[in-house]
């Protein structure tokens, strides 16, 4: 049996009081708050076949005037990425995510395709996927052909950026956040189907993405060890460049942020908003531990991998590994624990009531993977799954 958190006036979660939390933030964020940004990677699928289709260059060209660099090419021409501007206001973040989706969707309609937020393609491509005509991506495709293989799998994630004053603090925060990242991964699991088959996982993207070098939990590093580690990875050829560091939490190489990279992209706009405010709230709390000189929790690599694998396997619909106790517990219990830990940071930003309301809605509807499977069980048609994803992606 699960309980729903409510917020006391001091920001500390209280017991089950369903339906009493307001749907919007109750305080106006200020400049002392950490900033947030979200990157979403989407699939383009053909309107007739519902299969991935390489029309990103045309879609991006059609949106360039309106969005500028906020819409970008991803690794394959069947993908489009959008990027929000940094903000400390969760309502502003949500509005910008919705506006970015709407602008790209209007462009896709002119190109005979749909924008779909799913971590993996539900229906297989009818022709081999093409790598985007970007010099860096072309070099990556040539150098890491053994990773791509013949099938050329495409995966789509959602990345949350939290503004950081310097790399040293970004790394210290990453060290403290490691035990909580499997919970965020489970919350966003949205890739049960892969090219026409049920994978048996809630997040098959996690499995497919892991074939790339360095994808996985970040080691515990300070700034000096970080630089030595990156230099060694470049020297040995594991990395082509510094931007290929794909740890689940990493200092960004192009903006002053800590980037969290564990989530599938989700069609339900509540999910990226939840991810961003939870990461920001947790970061606010854990930075106090960093400033107080507290050491990050010790988590063994085997236990951490097991927690991530359980999150990918079950999402929100099964058990996860509680890294504090070493016991398997329902995934929603881990979500509750995360909210309790992040509550002071959520309260400081005015985001705690909204977070509780959005989580209540997610619990009622089910996670992305569960909703995809429910659509398939009901209609017995993978095309219907794609249509439902496209409809929800456009409902922002």
Strand stretches in the chain, DSSP E: 6-7, 13-14, 36-46, 71-73, 79-83, 113-116, 157-163, 193-194, 197-198, 249-251, 257-264, 319-321, 328-330
Q: Let me know if residue 25 belongs to a domain.
A: no
Q: Let me know if residue 24 belongs to a domain.
A: no
Q: Let me know if residue 21 belongs to a domain.
A: no
Q: Let me know if residue 244 belongs to a domain.
A: yes
Place of tokens 């854990």: 286
Tell me how many degrees the CA angle 61-188-382 measures, rounded to the nearest 5.
Answer: 70
Domain, as residue range, for 63: 30-393
Q: Looking at the predicted structure, is the pLDDT value of residue 298 above 50?
A: yes
Strand stretches in 298-348, DSSP E: 319-321, 328-330
Q: Let me know if residue 16 belongs to a domain.
A: no
Q: Looking at the predicted structure, is the pLDDT value of residue 5 above 90?
A: no
For residues 106 and 63, what is the distance between their CA atoms, to the nearest angstrom?
9
* Nearest partner of 158 among 185, 132, 177, judged by Cα: 185
For residues 344 and 329, what is the distance between their CA atoms, to the nearest angstrom?
24
Would you state the pLDDT for residue 14? 45
Stretch 274-281: mean pLDDT, rounded? 98
Would you state the pLDDT for residue 15? 38
Q: Let me know if residue 15 belongs to a domain.
A: no
For residues 131 and 339, what is the distance between their CA atoms, to the nearest angstrom?
39
Contact between 85 and 100 under an 8 Å Cβ cutoff? The reply is no
Q: Let me know if residue 271 belongs to a domain.
A: yes
Would you state the pLDDT for residue 1? 30
Would you state the pLDDT for residue 32? 86
For residues 121, 84, 335, 344, the Cα torsion angle rounded to the nearest 10 degrees is 180
For residues 225, 230, 235, 240, the Cα torsion angle rounded to the nearest 10 degrees is 180
pLDDT tens for each residue of 300-318: 999 999 999 999 999 999 9
pLDDT tens for each residue of 25-62: 334 445 689 999 999 999 999 999 999 999 999 999 99
CATH of the domain at 255: 3.30.590.20
Is residue 69 packed enough to be buried (19+ CB in 10 Å), middle (13-18) or exposed (0-12)? exposed
Place of tokens 């569960």: 370
Paired with 191 in beta bridges are 203
Would you state the pLDDT for residue 28? 45
Q: Let me know if residue 20 belongs to a domain.
A: no
- Hey, is 249 helix, strand or coil? strand
Question: How many structural domains is the chain composed of?
Answer: 1
Q: In sequence order, what are the residues at sequence separation of 6 or more whose Cβ sits closer than 8 angstroms to the Cβ of residue 145?
A: none
pTM over 0.75: yes
């Amino acid at each position: 049996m699960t309980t729903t958190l409510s917020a006391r006036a001091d920001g500390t979660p209280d017991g089950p009081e369903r339906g009493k939390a307001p749907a919007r933030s109750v305080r106006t964020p200020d400049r002392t708050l950490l900033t947030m940004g979200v990157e979403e990677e989407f699939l383009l699928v053909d309107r007739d076949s519902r299969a991935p289709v390489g029309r990103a260059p045309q879609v991006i060209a059609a949106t360039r005037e309106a969005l500028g660099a906020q819409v970008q090419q991803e690794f394959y021409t069947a993908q489009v990425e959008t990027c929000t501007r940094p903000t400390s206001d969760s309502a502003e973040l949500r509005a910008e995510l919705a506006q970015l989706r709407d602008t790209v969707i209007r462009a896709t309609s002119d190109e005979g395709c749909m924008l779909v937020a799913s971590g993996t393609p539900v229906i297989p491509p009818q022709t081999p996927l093409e790598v985007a005509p970007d010099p860096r991506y072309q070099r990556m495709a040539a150098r890491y052909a053994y990773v791509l293989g013949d099938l050329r799998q495409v995966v789509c994630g959602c990345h949350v950026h939290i503004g950081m004053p310097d790399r040293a603090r970004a790394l210290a925060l990453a060290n403290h956040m490691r035990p909580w990242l499997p919970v965020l991964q489970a919350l966003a699991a949205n890739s049960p189907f892969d090219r026409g088959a049920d994978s048996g996982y809630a997040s098959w993207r996690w499995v497919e993405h892991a074939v790339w070098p360095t994808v996985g939990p970040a080691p515990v590093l300070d700034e000096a060890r970080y630089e030595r580690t990156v230099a060694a990875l470049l020297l040995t050829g594991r990395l082509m460049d510094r931007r290929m560091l794909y740890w689940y939490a990493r200092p960004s190489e192009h903006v002053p942020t800590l980037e969290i990279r564990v989530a599938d992209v989700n069609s339900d706009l509540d999910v990226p908003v939840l991810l961003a405010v939870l990461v920001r709230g947790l970061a606010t709390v854990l930075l106090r531990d960093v400033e107080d000189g507290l050491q990050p929790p010790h988590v063994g690599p085997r236990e951490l991998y097991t927690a991530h694998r359980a999150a990918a396997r079950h999402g929100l619909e099964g058990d996860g590994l509680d890294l504090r106790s070493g016991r398997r517990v329902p995934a929603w219990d881990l979500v509750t624990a995360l909210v309790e830990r992040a509550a002071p940071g959520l309260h400081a930003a005015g985001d705690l009531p909204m977070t509780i309301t959005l989580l209540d809605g997610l619990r009622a509807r089910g996670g992305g993977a569960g909703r995809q499977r429910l659509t398939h069980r009901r209609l017995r048609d993978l095309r219907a799954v794609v249509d439902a994803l496209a409809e929800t992606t456009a409902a922002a």
